Amino acid sequence: MNSIKNIILNPYNLTDQKIEKALSIACSNKIDFADIYFEYTKTESWRLEDGIMKSGSSSIDSGFGIRSVSGDKSGFAYSSQYDLKDLTKAAEMSRSIVNHGQEKSVKLGESKKFKKLYDSTSPLDSINDNEKVDFLKSIDAYIKKKDSKVDQVILNLSGTHESILVMNSDGIKSIDERPLVRFSVVVILKDKERREQGFSGGGGRYMYDEILNNQTGYKFADEALRQANINLNAIDCKAGTATVVLGPGWPGVLLHEAIGHGLEGDFNRKKTSAYTGLLGKKVASSECTVIDDGTIAKRRGSLSVDDEGCETQRTVLIENGILKGYMQDKLNSRLMKTSSTGNGRRESYGCLPMPRMTNTFMLPGKHNPNEIIESVKKGIYAVNFSGGQVDITNGQFVFTASEAYNIRDGKIADPIKDMTLIGNGPEILKKVSMVGNDLKLDEGVGTCGKDGQTVPVGVGQPTLKIDEITVGGTQL
């Protein structure tokens, strides 16, 4: 608790008693619960492009947000000032938005004990700035030396250290110190008049040395080069309906977008999800078991506690094709008469929390990946995706592949480009006929957007076979 204590609480003399008083003001007999979220975040970012350090930036953001909840209504006020008068004014405003009522006394409990999933140390201070710049320059030189076709290299290295303190009218008092680093590589190759790119990267809740000192950065550089070279030789994708095999790891982003968002509690409480009212019903092939797990140590999407002070969990969403549950925050779980699953997340102190994914993935099945490829006479093998979009209300999605291949007679054949997958999340899950035994989580680059807020997440899956899906392409 040293960071929050030394930077926010002690300098402003914010004792437990004063915070209890603010919570009492934010609460009333007609309000279900109230909470205060303190945050102090330091962020830095480094960008090297065309062999030149194009930017280096750092920032500090800190403040608090107070929320009063009554039924499905939330009163919310926030400030970057920590004086007791600011805290009191925000508490009064928060309560008045939903219900004036009579002030209710609140008592805080002891600091909550929970399993720490990562180091509390700040990655920003783990190495000096010269080492960060030297690392980026060494990766740039390595890539250019390895392939004469290199036209452009773009490298990004970033780090964050976030300190949070959550206190609420239920007595919760949770503190968390969260490190996060991310490194990405974009390589553009040029061969005659054709230019193609490859992308790779990774990160997690650890120090910079996990990337700088373990040859990990060079591994990502090699992967970006490999992808770019594959794409230089790719042919146009043929449009139509096809059997598609998705590779392990990052293709789980399709699962995240097309299925995961539809399993968040708020969409189901409001009856706007394609999965509303289907608990206990078969919504996927019996081969499919889907998990959201925020408890995996050092993962990008993991949290020791969520942004409402609740411990994250391993939540079974779909088990052998049967819908088992939704991801919940405090507000929606109360209204749906269930419990929080530790999925209450927010981008910053100036945002309301909502149910969000952490690390969402499909569990491994019984099939060898080679067996899955060999079962396809004619189809597509999609290894990586560059982006996509989904309509939560009906599950319709469109995803663009950044690396894909034709499958002919059970063998991976020529690479293809400009391939998109078009379908319906709930329907596609029913067409999964084989799931591999090679579960892989992504390298740690995922960021999820919802209602204007972005948070770090993880995805993953084993190799899996979709018997039929619409494929968009430039070859008719």
Q: How confident is the model at residue 476 (pLDDT cuts 50, 70, 90)?
A: low
In the structure, what pLDDT confidence band is assigned to residue 395 with cuts at 50, 70 and 90? Answer: confident
pLDDT at 3 over 80: no
Lowest mean pLDDT among 31-35, 384-388, 434-438: 384-388
User: Could you give the CA distance from residue 463 to residue 407 in angstroms, rounded to a whole number?
Assistant: 14
For residue 254, what pLDDT is reported?
Answer: 87
The rounded distance, in Å, linking the Cα atoms of 60 and 451 is 24
What is the enclosing helix (H) or strand (E) of 21?
Answer: helix 16-26
Token readout for 109 is: 């409990």
Let me know: does 258 contact 234? Beta carbons within 8 Å. no
Pair 118, 206: CB distance under 8 Å: yes
The whole-number pLDDT of residue 100 equals: 66
Q: Domain boundaries in the chain? A: 2-232, 236-472
What is the pLDDT, as a whole number, of residue 1? 47
* Assigned CATH for 2-232: 3.30.2290.10
Mean pLDDT of the chain: 93
Tens digit of pLDDT for each residue in 79-105? 999 988 999 999 999 999 987 666 677
> Under a CB-based contact definition with an 8 Å cutoff, are residues 83 and 60 in contact?
no
